[in-house]
Structure 1
């Protein structure tokens, strides 16, 4: 298998965990997996160190990782690193880049595609690929899978971690109808052997838009990795110790932070919340310029026990979870959003409180979790009530409830979610 996954360890982007788990699972099941991912320089220099080196050590050693070169034109801001042509003819080079975006593929990652195609072709001549799998975003990987599948005359599969042509947070189409991007998506889906989505809402949207591919559209939910998180131990709540609430994950500008913090401020005087702390664990945004604006939204609430704890490695997540009583599931609201974090949350067996708009796709996963608290609206008052109720759940939790929570989470291990998909992929190449 050739697996096109631009974001892959050591990147710390949220989609990396699905890609890592997919490659590892396939290798474990006997596939010879070659991953094409971005050059290391992209994560360490152009994204200013947005990487987690420890995560790279968790890749199955049987997975072959290849990093085709990439033209960094849209990401390079340092004139000292410009090519000779760009230094001498900046306007002409910019016009050439704009033309490529309009005529070839509208995405800044286009500069990765030529090397992917060239490298894959040379590898295929030595040892033929049976299948191409691509995950997006970015969706240049889908375009590359389409071309390689056609050249190699092998099946290809596309895995939508995110939506391509519409914004799943605002539920609006992102590109002009009938435009170049829309035509690319239709072309990719017409030839794909399978089209995979992370939740049914995403699948239904695409089924309505591309009915010709509806029978090839499936759902492969995200999951969690026992090898990274282990199995937690039951711990009775200590009534003499204040509760600790935690949010774990990248803190983006889309999160309803003010609603969460105002709800927290309103809830904290309640007896069950006495002395409680709300700890925020994770990176602030994905780019350096995002840090200050997000931090400015957190700092005013320090006096109410809201603490920014900094980033942590994925390999340290189990210890962060162990020090938490209640997990705060705060995400942008949309019926198309699941989030990979919810699966890890469930794997802890701890109470989870939702802070998001009702109707989120993740609610389908959480509905049978025995210690989930959610309100039917996203307001500070509703959040306060949910926080208090989740705190009471933490105080009352017993071993039986804890074991029921873990049993529910076991349905979403990566092996459980990826197993049926692997069988379908295997059937494509027989």
Structure 2
């Protein structure tokens, strides 16, 4: 906002302001629990931004609902534009498709794990399937790529599935993509939290880009919200709600058995056209249109 004032003063021209919210400023999943005064200041800046910006781009429609709840008198006149994160098709150009299928049914997760974003629910449920004799422990594998909290590492070290889990520390983005290309399913964990409905991270779209090339599914543990809606729209996901172990067992076995029976742990009807509309070149074009519209209004 101050930069806008400075730019207008320097140029002598009125300049449109497009404010981009990839995350909400306050009341978000990872917002620190701070002292009341900083909280008040943050809310003031958030409200002022919505009030003064000529357009506000948001990554999830739930963000608009949240702003309307917090600042109804301001949000009613805010020009919101939905602009997803998307994926970059160029990231996959040099990724190698596997020449042969995996010997073990392999689920890959890329990204950080911490706090509520953890694999406990999945690993506990698969451990039960092993005990029940429905899953062969020697024929499954989990690859977790990225930074991980010490509590999660300790949990994995004491898990009955420890030998089935490969931990890979932080790797360059291109290498992370290669792990996705080798996956039989890509694990998506959406935190069980009141703000989770608004979560639509870049990881979801990165998974979509890989799915479009490999036909492999996103294996999601998620409640109602933006991520679930996106996976349903693109037909790329097998989704299990939180705290429903029987459904999780059923969904895991669907992929596990399909993989070993006829290698069909894939998505026979994924919507490629729906996926491609989230390619970043198209989204950048939409952003350019937002800028152009604001310039026309200003002139």
TM-score range, shorter chain: 0.7 to 0.9
Structure number with higher relative contact order (C-alpha < 8 Å, ≥ 6 residues apart):
2
Q: Which residue of 2 aligns with 1:374?
A: 239
Separation (CA, whole Å) in 1 of partners of 2:18 and 2:39: 24
Separation (CA, whole Å) in 1 of partners of 2:235 and 2:137: 21
Give the C-alpha shift of residue 169 in structure 1: 6.7
Give the C-alpha shift of residue 283 in structure 1: 1.6
Conserved? CA contact 2:118–2:152, under 8 Å: no
**Does 176-185 or 409-418 show the bigger shift?**
176-185
Matches within 5 A, 1:180-329: 180-211=41-72, 212-214=74-76, 215-230=78-93, 238=101, 241-268=103-130, 269-271=133-135, 275-284=139-148, 291-301=149-159, 302-303=161-162, 305-329=164-188
The answer to whether 1:348 aligns with 2:215 is no
Match of 1:335 among 182, 191, 197: 197
Separation (CA, whole Å) in 2 of partners of 1:195 and 1:392: 46
Matches within 5 A, 1:61-210: 146-153=1-8, 154-168=15-29, 179-210=40-71
Q: Which residue of 1 aligns with 2:11?
A: none
Conserved? CA contact 2:198–2:226, under 8 Å: yes
Aligned pair in 2 of structure 1 residues 321, 151: CA closer, same or farther (>3 Å)? same
Separation (CA, whole Å) in 1 of partners of 2:156 and 2:52: 47
Conserved? CA contact 2:145–2:168, under 8 Å: yes
Separation (CA, whole Å) in 2 of partners of 1:208 and 1:263: 37
Give the C-alpha shift of residue 363 in structure 1: 0.8
Q: Which runs of 5+ in 1 are unaligned?
A: 1-145, 285-290
Aligned pair in 2 of structure 1 residues 340, 348: CA closer, same or farther (>3 Å)? same
Secondary structure in 2 matching 1:374: strand
CA RMSD in angstroms, aligned pairs only: 3.1
Aligned pair in 2 of structure 1 residues 313, 233: CA closer, same or farther (>3 Å)? closer
Q: Which residue of 2 aligns with 1:411?
A: 277
In the alignment of these two chains, the number of paired residues is 274
Conserved? CA contact 1:156–1:193, under 8 Å: yes
Give the C-alpha shift of residue 305 in structure 1: 1.1
Aligned pair in 2 of structure 1 residues 338, 322: CA closer, same or farther (>3 Å)? same
Secondary structure in 1 matching 2:57: strand
Give the C-alpha shift of residue 422 in structure 1: 1.5
Separation (CA, whole Å) in 1 of partners of 2:108 and 2:129: 15
Give the C-alpha shift of residue 385 in structure 1: 2.5
Give the C-alpha shift of residue 201 in structure 1: 0.7
Separation (CA, whole Å) in 2 of partners of 1:245 and 1:274: 14
Separation (CA, whole Å) in 2 of partners of 1:405 and 1:233: 22
Aligned pair in 2 of structure 1 residues 309, 377: CA closer, same or farther (>3 Å)? same
Give the structure-1-normalised TM-score. 0.57
Give the structure-2-normalised TM-score. 0.79
